[in-house]
Structure formats: C-alpha cells, structure tokens
C-alpha cells in the first residue's frame, strides 16, 4: 500500500524556468513532509521540509507547498538550473501514526535542459 | 557528504549466501534506519534502531536481521539470498527517535546472481 505517491516518473524543464514536482499522500495522520534529492550513485540528500501546521516553506530557490485538504504537496524550484537534474523523492512522517519511519514516494526524475 | 558511511559500496554474491552490510551514523546521531530500494521503486523502510535497541520494524523479511552496536554502528544481515534481494540498501541516521530529517549514506548495491 503506497501511502505516498509521485505520479510523474519524469519531468523536463528548460533552464531558468520553474520546475513543479507533485506528491500525494493518503494517510491523514502524516504531520511532517520532506523532499529529498538524489544523484546517481549517492544517497538521498535532504532538501526541504514542511510541518502540517504550515502551508508553505521557502528556502532560497526551493519552496514547498502543502494542501492538507487535498492531501497534496508540491516542490517548486525557481529558477531551475542544470545542477538540479536529479531524482526527487517526497517523504512523509507521522509521529501520531505510531510509525517511526519515513514513507517515501517512488521519485520523479527532473531533467533541466540548458 | 552526509557524514553517514556505508560499506561495502558494491557486493555481488550468489543465491543462498549470506552477507553483512555495515553503517556508521553521523557523529552524535543515535538512530539508524535501514531502507531497501529496488529497481524503479521508492525507498522501503526495513528497520530502525535507537541507541542499541530495535525501535521500529517495517517490511523486513525474516531472512534479514539487523543490530546496532555500543559504538552506534549498525549491521544489516541478509541470509538465504534470493535474486529478488538485489537492490540498493541505504542506511540513514537521525539524532532522536522521531524520523524527521534523516541523513543518508551512499548506499550498498547488492547483486545476487
């Protein structure tokens, strides 16, 4: 049962434009959401997170938006750069669920075209 | 560099064999998590240890086991290996028990032939 879903396996964007990566979740008990970036042959790297008490969190070129009613979050990258080309994983956590782990989506491969 | 180290980077072995993957967490982190990533799949949580004690179990097979030692490094033991066990195995660490930001190692790629 995939509780965190990333329905777009891949996304291509021109350099300088906005990249929008989407993520849906099914468990309303999740209260913390994270985005990780992964380059080939490396482990995932933490990028940005958001608590369920917020609807937006910004860090430089990266902004995460959370829509709790729709159980949807998105990662915006503006402007996109070729170095942003990687696989992006959405993850969710919920101490209230009693689970002590992160639930990951299957990832979206972002390609930024110079 | 996340500060989490994993050895070996690559492992090739035959079906039926047993292997041990090793992980050293970031300095100061007490929790270690193990994840499996099969081809085109997300990361599947296997097991968590906190300060030497098992804290949470995910989709870990009975053929797999793990432990965390007093120096906080952890080992994941995979036995009676099958072709389907071929995957990337990641270790992650965090300071406390609540799995907010976790820091991942580079992974061990296991190939079972």
Confidence bin at A114 (pLDDT 50/70/90): very high
Q: Name residue B22's beta-bridge partners.
A: B7, B75
> What is the rounded average pLDDT of the residues B47-66?
92
Contact: A45, B48; criterion CB under 8 Å: no
**Each residue's pLDDT tens digit, A71-83:** 999 999 999 999 9
Selected residues 37-76 of chain B with any CB under 8 Å from a CB in chain A: 40-45, 48, 55-56, 58
How many angstroms separate the first and last alpha carbons of chain A? 38
With an 8 Å Cβ cutoff, is B106 touching chain A?
yes
For residue A101, pLDDT over 80 is answered with no
Confidence bin at A87 (pLDDT 50/70/90): very high
Q: Tell which of A29, A41, A43 to mutate to test the B interface (max B CBs under 10 Å).
A: A43
pLDDT, position A29:
86
Higher pLDDT, B39 or B38: B38
Higher pLDDT, A47 or B100: A47
pLDDT, position A90:
95
* Spatial separation of the C-alpha atoms in residues A74 and A56, rounded to whole Å: 10
**Each residue's pLDDT tens digit, B79-88:** 999 999 999 9
* Spatial separation of the C-alpha atoms in residues B78 and B85, rounded to whole Å: 9
For residue A98, pLDDT over 70 is answered with no
* Spatial separation of the C-alpha atoms in residues A32 and B70, rounded to whole Å: 30
* Spatial separation of the C-alpha atoms in residues A107 and A87, rounded to whole Å: 6
3-state helix, strand, coil in chain A (%, to 5): 5, 55, 40
Contact: A101, B4; criterion CB under 8 Å: no
**Each residue's pLDDT tens digit, A18-52:** 999 999 999 888 889 999 999 988 899 999 999 99
Quick one: CA dihedral B10, B16, B17, B23, positive or negative?
Answer: positive
């Amino acid at each position: 049962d995939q509780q965190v879903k990333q329905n777009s396996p891949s996304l291509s964007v021109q350099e300088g434009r906005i990249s929008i990566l989407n993520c849906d979740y099914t468990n309303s008990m999740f209260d913390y959401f994270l985005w990780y970036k992964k380059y080939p042959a490396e482990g995932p790297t933490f990028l940005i997170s958001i608590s369920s008490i917020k609807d937006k969190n910004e860090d430089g070129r990266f902004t995460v938006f959370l829509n709790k009613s729709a159980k949807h979050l998105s990662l915006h990258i503006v402007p996109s750069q070729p170095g942003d080309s990687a696989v992006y994983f959405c993850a969710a956590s919920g101490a209230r669920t009693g689970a002590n782990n992160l639930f990951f989506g299957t990832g979206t491969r972002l390609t930024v075209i110079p | 560099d996340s500060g989490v180290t994993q050895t070996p980077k690559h492992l090739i072995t035959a079906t039926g064999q047993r292997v041990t993957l090793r992980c050293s967490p970031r300095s100061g982190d007490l929790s270690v998590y193990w994840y499996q990533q099969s081809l085109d799949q997300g990361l599947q949580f296997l097991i968590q240890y906190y300060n030497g004690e098992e804290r949470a179990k995910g989709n870990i097979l009975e053929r797999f086991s793990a432990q965390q030692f007093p120096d906080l490094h952890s080992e994941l033991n995979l036995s009676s290996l099958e072709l389907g066990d071929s995957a990337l195995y990641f270790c992650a660490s965090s300071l406390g028990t609540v799995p907010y930001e976790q820091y991942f190692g580079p992974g061990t790629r296991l190939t079972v032939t």
